[in-house]
């Protein structure tokens, strides 16, 4: 019988995939519960010790170590406890030195049923804990499962052998279709300890799954010779992987692709045809961006570190290739490098450069105008000093003193002013203006006197008698005509009556009396204008 108990214990541990120690501990707890059921009036705290080799059961009463004992059934003094166990302290629970009398042949049915339920519960708890620890080790790793059920909410339940995993709809690949009984590889995102066992959350669209596939297929990635720096993935369509070699002489891209592409092809087949671009990683952001935008060529990259933005210039014929279908290539490249990318064609970039150049020139012009305005403000003191010197020069005109005395009197009142530019001091400017002004006044007076002396001529008495105002007016009119019409030939003057029909008698009478009329008008002094007109007509 005793050997049968040991055999049963070993078999139960093997079926539950549990160690024998945990199964034995569960049985001990169940026997303690059964003893409490059979002896409810004792009110003792019971512990049971089971010998797996012999099958003997020992029942001990547990007592708490206290200073003053109030309940002898559950408490014991410190001195008595130290007699049983030396290193005991207050508050510890200590088993009595002698076991309680217990006959396992007279166990009631209720106690046996209670022991059975306790054993099963303890075994289930131990099994769940063991499964949780097992799958916790596979977190962030790839495991294989079988599609067990497709939920109405598009979730997929996977059978992992001893546990069940769930793959939500947002963790699935849009291009994949799953069938019941299909075996697939999934990436373990998280493992939680639930009431019915471990809750395992898996995914096939996570980018770390691609990283683990590279570690499985590429030995250089697994041992650290080639390091995966960044991954951007559009699950089911396209992915970009940036790799870097930690050792000199190793081609990271070639190691990941493999001979004739056999390594990368295995990963593509597992992901059901998803395209994968492997690009070399660069420490320089410009070079890294140029590599990430492949397969398109890059002409120029301009960075804006403050905004974490980069302008990528590509040839016009490759603009659509750089952007990709629905912006896929540009989006994956931006995720890979961690920068916001603005892709421009070469023609558009030239226009942007011209606009920037015009704006720069406009800013320079505005800066020059502001600098000129500032210089003008700083030169106000010099202009004020010049205005003061002009005022002093104007005041000098009314002074009767000599120029030397005037300058001597004025000079101490003028303060020397210096400007930023190399200009003449204000005192010197004032002195120069005064000398020139005085000299100009003297010369003007001398010229006026000389002109008056030349124009005024001495007239005799006879000439004065013959001098009349009419003659002066006539001479003045002739001079004006010669001045305005110097080169015109002599033409007859048209009178106001020109063009009228006249009789011969009137013409003869006027021609005979024209001279007398002219002399009479000259003596009387009336009709000077008519005389002048007749004289002008005769002259013509």
Are residues 14 and 47 both part of a single domain? yes
Q: Please indicate, yes or no, if residue 339 is contained in any of the structural domains.
A: no
Q: Are residues 13 and 64 in the same domain?
A: yes
Nearest alpha carbon to residue 173 among 144, 213, 202, 143: 202
How long a stretch of residues is the chain?
Answer: 540
Query: Please, is 504 exposed, middle or buried when counting C-beta atoms within 10 Å of its C-beta (0-12, 13-18, 19+)?
Result: exposed
471 and 445 in one domain?
A: no
| 248 and 146 within one domain | yes
Q: 3-state DSSP call for residue 452? A: helix
Q: Are residues 199 and 278 in the same domain?
A: yes
| Residues 288 and 147 grouped into a single domain | yes
Q: Cα torsion at 159, 164, 169, 173 (round to 10°)?
A: -40
Same domain, 160 and 282: yes
Q: Could you tell me if residue 52 is inside a domain? A: yes
Cα 254 to Cα 279: distance, rounded to the nearest angstrom: 10
Contact partners, residue 289, CB within 8 Å, separation at least 6 = 298, 301, 310, 312, 333, 337, 339, 341
Q: Is 419 exposed, middle or buried (0-12, 13-18, 19+ CB in 10 A)?
A: middle
Among the candidates 275, 294, 313, a domain finishes at 294
Contact in structure between 256 and 221 (CB atoms under 8 Å): yes
**Tens-of-pLDDT digits for all 540 residues of the chain?**
456 767 777 888 888 778 888 888 888 888 787 777 766 545 677 777 777 777 677 777 777 888 777 777 777 887 777 777 777 778 777 777 666 666 555 566 777 787 788 888 888 888 888 888 888 999 999 999 999 998 888 899 999 888 889 999 999 999 999 999 999 999 999 998 887 888 899 999 999 999 999 999 999 999 999 999 999 999 999 999 999 999 888 999 999 999 889 999 999 999 999 999 999 999 999 999 999 998 899 999 999 999 999 999 999 999 999 999 889 999 999 999 999 999 999 999 999 999 989 999 999 999 888 888 888 777 665 566 556 656 665 654 554 444 444 333 334 443 444 434 344 444 444 444 566 777 777 777 777 766 655 544 444 445 544 545 454 444 544 554 454 444 544 545 555 555 555 555 555 555 555 444 444 434 444 444 334 333 343 333
Residue 6 shares a structural domain with residue 112: yes
Q: Which of 205, 3, 12 is nearest to 120 (CA)?
A: 12
Contact indicator for 313, 299 with CB cutoff of 8 Å: yes
Closest-CA residue to 531 (of 523, 540, 539, 521): 521
Alpha-carbon distance values, 367 to 96, 358, 426 (Å): 98, 14, 31
**80, 104, 132: which is the final residue of a domain?**
132
- Are 387 and 264 members of one domain? no
Domain end among 391, 423, 453: 453
According to DSSP, residue 144 is labeled E
Evaluate whether residue 77 is within a structural domain. yes
156 and 290 housed in the same domain: yes
Residue 86 in domain: yes
Residue 363 lies inside a defined structural domain of this protein: no
Q: Write the DSSP assignment of 346-364 as a string of letters.
A: HHHHHHHHHHHHHHHHHHH
- 49 lies in the same domain as 153: no
Q: Which stretches does DSSP call E strand in 350-466?
A: none
Phi-psi region of 96 (alpha: psi -120 to 50; beta: other; left: phi over 0): beta
Nearest-angstrom CA–CA distance, 300 and 108: 89
How many domains does the chain contain in total?
Answer: 4
CATH number for position 13: 3.30.1480.10
Answer yes or no: are the C-beta atoms of 114 and 34 closer than 8 Å.
yes
Question: Does residue 372 fall inside a structural domain?
Answer: no
Domain with residue 274: its CATH number is 3.30.300.20
The domain of 445 spans 381-453
Asked whether residue 309 is assigned to any structural domain, the reply reads: no
Contact 301, 312 (CB under 8 A): yes
Q: Are residues 169 and 274 in the same domain?
A: yes
State phi, psi for 325 to the nearest 5 degrees.
-70, 120
Q: Is residue 320 part of a domain?
A: no
């Amino acid at each position: 019988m005793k050997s049968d108990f040991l055999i049963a214990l070993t078999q139960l541990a093997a079926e539950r995939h549990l160690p024998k120690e945990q199964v034995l501990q569960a049985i001990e707890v169940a026997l303690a519960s059964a003893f409490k059921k059979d002896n409810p009036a004792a009110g003792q705290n019971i512990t049971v010790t089971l010998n797996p080799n012999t099958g003997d059961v020992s029942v001990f009463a547990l007592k708490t170590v206290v200073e003053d004992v109030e309940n002898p059934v559950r408490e014991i003094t410190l001195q008595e406890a130290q007699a049983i166990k030396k290193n005991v302290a207050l508050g510890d629970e200590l088993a009595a030195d002698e076991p309680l009398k217990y006959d396992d042949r007279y166990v009631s049915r209720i106690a046996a049923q209670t022991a059975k339920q306790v054993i099963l519960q303890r075994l289930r708890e131990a099994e769940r804990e063991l499964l949780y620890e097992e799958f916790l080790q596979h977190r962030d790793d790839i495991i294989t499962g079988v599609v067990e059920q497709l939920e109405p909410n598009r979730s997929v339940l996977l059978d992992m052998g001893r546990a069940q995993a769930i793959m939500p709809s947002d963790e699935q690949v849009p291009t994949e279709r799953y069938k019941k009984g299909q075996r697939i590889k999934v990436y373990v995102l998280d493992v939680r300890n639930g009431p019915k066992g471990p809750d395992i959350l898996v995914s096939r669209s996570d980018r770390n799954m691609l990283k683990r596939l590279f570690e499985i297929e590429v030995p250089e990635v697994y041992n650290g010779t080639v390091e995966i720096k960044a991954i951007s993935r559009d699950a089911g369509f396209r992915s970009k992987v940036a790799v870097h070699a930690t050792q000199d002489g190793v081609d990271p891209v070639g190691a990941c692709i493999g001979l004739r592409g056999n390594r990368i092809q295995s990963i593509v087949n597992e992901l059901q045809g998803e395209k994968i671009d492997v690009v070399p990683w660069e420490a320089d952001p410009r070079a890294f961006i140029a590599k990430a935008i492949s397969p398109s060529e890059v002409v120029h990259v301009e960075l804006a570190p403050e905004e974490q933005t980069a302008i990528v210039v590509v040839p016009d014929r490759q603009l659509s290739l750089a952007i990709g279908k629905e912006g896929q290539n540009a989006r994956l490249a931006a995720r890979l490098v961690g920068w916001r990318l603005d892709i421009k064609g070469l023609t558009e970039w030239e226009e942007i450069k011209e606009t920037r150049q015009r704006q720069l020139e406009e800013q320079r012009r505005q800066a020059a105008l502001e600098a000129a305005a500032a210089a003008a403000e700083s030169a106000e003191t010099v202009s004020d000093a010049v205005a003061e010197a002009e005022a002093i020069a104007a005041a000098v005109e009314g002074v009767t003193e000599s120029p030397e005395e005037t300058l001597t009197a004025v000079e101490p009142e003028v303060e020397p002013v210096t400007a930023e530019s190399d200009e003449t001091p204000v005192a010197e400017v004032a002195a120069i203006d005064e000398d020139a002004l005085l000299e100009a006044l003297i010369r003007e007076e001398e010229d006026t006197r000389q002109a008056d002396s030349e124009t005024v001529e001495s007239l005799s008495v006879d000439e004065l008698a013959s001098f009349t105002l009419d003659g002066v007016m006539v001479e003045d009119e002739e001079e004006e005509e010669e001045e305005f019409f110097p080169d015109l030939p002599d033409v007859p003057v048209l009178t106001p009556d020109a063009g009228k029909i006249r009789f011969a008698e009137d013409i003869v009478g006027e021609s005979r009396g024209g001279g007398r009329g002219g002399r009479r008008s000259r003596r009387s002094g009336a009709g000077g204008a008519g005389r002048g007109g007749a004289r002008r007509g005769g002259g013509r």
